Structure 1
């Protein structure tokens, strides 16, 4: 019996070693991310302890209260599953905590996908180390010929694997934006459909923004200045997104015609259309000056448009479903989705 157990143990050891060698890059990345996540968690402190710090500002105190209020509202009024997420805070010391890379084919809206165990495929990859993110972005650009985007993450959800903390930079947001972000991330922990990132992100954005309006209305009253300011800000964002989604459709239509052209011609036609998109951006009617000069020193590539599609391309469908099938009842809608798509 002992010999059999030894042989079984040896076989398992060989299989484990083989798996590590076969998936060395993934294992190495996983360990790196685990170290980064544990560092954030271990250096986080309870919000109650943070509020006792005499060096924090009055605005920071108020924003912590917004986090607590938005969480309670999400649990009680929106059907968000209860969790201990965002009950601690990590001091970023004004610096970003995570860097996210995305990649996309240059003449098609086909993103590069990274495959992760259990949770499935994602069109983005996060790093706690900026240099490693830059190196990976450079490698993909040079070796795979893809367009690459690199951005910082304002927040993220580990889908229940860890107790997600508030990141101190979140407290720089307006009250409505902060509530929307907290509800967005809590939605990920409530409902997450494997290999359906576009649906997951669109739904979280939809619940986040709608939930934030409801939160502000309950706190300040319908028609209040706080609600009006958030709605006006959202209106500018919607105008921006609408223009950019239309631009993405124009680019996608162009890409369909480029199949038989040489690379130089493809590059020329694409550049001309993106220049036209930038020039005509001035025709968008905004309520504020927020987007003035947006493209003065920035030329978008396909990863920029893919990100907009990923977070916003299904908003109209979600809104239509909410109104037609659930009479505008966000709680009923989310409860229905939770029954249809059990979370991981």
Structure 2
């Protein structure tokens, strides 16, 4: 199923050169494609990521979602459900190119008593096995988020450790954000509005990260108090109270500024909060738990020399 979906997309891509030469495509789209080429060159030349054939082709989605990813967790323990894939190892998420298949998988997991979460994905990496295309949905992103995304995925193609998904995703997030800041500083300057706006987003995101990670620690502590004799109804009540507190205190992070990222949750039509579940929190840990570890190691052991730091990582950790 995965191979079929991937090959269907690759079969329907266009070389970037053709898109740039085609008058039917708007100039705004072409400028974003040219920007991606610039970001990619920067990632290779200035950060030290491996050269790649990715982002040399374009896939038009016509406004339609292309991939759905499922995460799942035990309901009263922050323990991610894992899938095993040949060569790649264990993953705490699974992607589907067909929504009905994703829905059936999620239903089966729910029937097994697990917390689940399903969401659309706008990019992924095939780790160098294929030439990953530029997806039309990527081009809707502002410059900073686009640079983050491209550098994140190129990091996967440079260093990806089997059975270490949390490490891989945390590293790619760290490199993507660091690389985006450097790229924007070089291209636009640190005094530019576009750079300062992106930096403000990153600062808010870091506060949000800390808030959610504190929340996961509180949830973990709560779950550890549950014993075999604790009624399920009481477990669910205490869990709901804790997650409600985490959600309702998100507003304290804004410091009077408008929210810069998508809210943690949304209101139901009834006006009540639609709370996230454990699948959200274990998914967050997959991407954000080790950020401070990478930053500290980079700054203190390597004095901010990123190429030297990344060379060390590639030499230390065996990649696929």
TM-score class, shorter-chain normalisation, is over 0.9
Matched, 1:299 2:299: no
Q: Deviations over 1:222-281 (max 9, x none)?
A: 332221111011112122221111111111110011123111110111011112222222
Whether the 8 Å CA contact 1:109–1:306 is kept in 2: the answer is yes
Cα distance, 1:290 vs structure 2:
3.3
Partner of 2:258: 288
- TM-score of the pair, normalised by structure 2: 0.94
Any gaps of 5 or more consecutive residues in structure 1? Answer: 1-31
Match of 1:270 in 2: 239
Following the alignment from structure 1 to structure 2, what is the Cα–Cα distance between the partners of residues 182 and 299? Answer: 31
> What CA deviation, in whole Å up to 9, does each residue of 1:159-208 have, x standing for no partner?
11111111110000001110110000000000001100000000000000
* Length-normalised TM-score, structure 1: 0.88
State the alpha-carbon separation in 1 of the partners of residues 97 and 262 from structure 2. 32
1:138-157 to structure 2, matched below 5 A, reads 138-142=107-111, 144-157=112-125
State which of 38, 54, 69 in structure 2 corresponds to 1:100: 69
- What is residue 168 of structure 2 aligned with on the other side? 200
Alignment counterpart, residue 284 of structure 2, candidates 304, 308, 312: 308
Which residue pairs with 1:179 in the alignment?
147
Counterpart of 2:308 (choices 318, 329, 332) is 332
Alpha-carbon separation, structure 2, partners of 1:295 and 1:111? 20
Q: 1:122 to 1:293 in 2, by over 3 A?
A: closer
CA distance in 2 between partners of 1:291 and 1:229 (Å): 13
**Equivalent residue, structure 2, for 1:160:** 128
1:283 Cα deviation after fit: 1.6
Q: Determine if contact 1:189/1:343 at 8 Å carries over to the other structure.
A: no
Q: Which residues of structure 2 form unaligned runs of 5+?
A: 268-273
What does 1:199-278 correspond to in 2, within 5 Å? 199-260=167-228, 261-278=230-247
Secondary structure of the 1:50 match is helix
SS state at 2:308 partner: helix
Q: Give the match for residue 78 of structure 2.
A: 109
Cα distance in 2 for partners of 1:291, 1:152 equals: 16
How far apart are 1:109 and its partner, in Å?
Answer: 0.8
Could you tell me how far apart the structure 2 residues matched to 1:87 and 1:55 are? 19
- Report the 3-state secondary structure (helix = DSSP H, G, I; strand = E; otherwise coil) of the residue aligned with 2:177: helix
Distance of aligned partners of 1:178 and 1:292 in 2 relative to their CA distance in 1, 3 Å threshold: closer
What SS does structure 2 have at the residue aligned with 1:242?
A: helix
Following TM superposition, by how much is the alpha carbon of 1:294 offset from its aligned partner in structure 2, in angstroms?
A: 4.6
User: SS at 1:103's partner residue?
Assistant: strand
